[in-house]
Structure 1
Amino acid sequence: MSGNSYSDRLQEDTPYLTSNGRLDEHLVDKIVLQLNRVYPQILSNKEAEKFRNPKTLVRKRLSDLLKHLKSKGDLACQEFYRALRNNADKIYATLPSRKNMTSPVFFLACFSVAAGLAFLMYYNNSDIKPTGASKKVLGFSAFGFGRHIKNILISYLDEVSLNN
């Protein structure tokens, strides 16, 4: 993703949104109406009429709307994304800025957690007695996990301490 702000996301998504056939006239009108009704400070009645003019091509109206929202600031861009999600969830889910959130780093982080848990379960042998230091590490690592994993780690530590 090029930036964290909604304006940066909108800048990245503009070519995708303005490509032919992506958003039809009915959908653009619904988004303009939602922005006008919910936030009249973002889109006044006069501006809404301009962006809903049927004599202008949909692609031109959408392009002008996106430029206008970028000039209004981050809140306006955020509200555009909210309106897009409410009216066209499938298009919202396929935006380039949304797809970039599933980066390789995210995959590696999830894989590392899964591999660590698999390693822990594989070597969860009752014959092996952990030292005092490893008990402390396992005990404190339970704080960072969810409820189910925390229960597994704590029950493992309880079982090990009963065997000692």
Structure 2
Amino acid sequence: MTNTGRIDLPFGIGFHPFFPLTPQTTLLAPATAWWTERDAHLPGSRGALVSDVDFSTARRLPDRRLNNCFEGWNGSARIVWPERHFGVDIAADSMLDRYMLFAPNGKRDFFCLEPMSHSPNALQHFETEPMGLALLSPGDSLRAGFAMTVFDWSAAHG
């Protein structure tokens, strides 16, 4: 993205892929901290990971609503659907050093793992803490991307 305005403005980049959620889906996506969720679906407080959302080892998503930002991510993630015999590896640019994890209540047949450059609601705090947003001068650009590679899980796990 490019700042086509006349003044310096904060910018961030985020991607929002959806994935199927099956009873055996596992996620590996190491992070160092996470944000709780407060009213109006906004970030609450930043803190240490609690055990059921520590994806430093592959684990199933907890059986509850998730709508949280995870920080300190190295840009690497793996999702596996053992009963479907495949998985996907995610590799994100270093600028995308956090992700949102969203899984709604009720019918839980999907979830989102969203690589992002900034934390949600970062504009609200930009003056005191940029939270990953970049200040672009007029004409300056920001670029980031990620790749997803599908693999045959059954080949390695019989």
Structure with the higher strand share, 1 or 2:
2
Q: With structure 2 as the length reference, what TM-score do the two structures score?
A: 0.24
Q: With structure 1 as the length reference, what TM-score do the two structures score?
A: 0.24
Greater Rg over alpha carbons, structure: 1
Instruction: Give the structure, 1 or 2, with the largest relative contact order (CA under 8 Å, sep 6 or more).
Output: 2
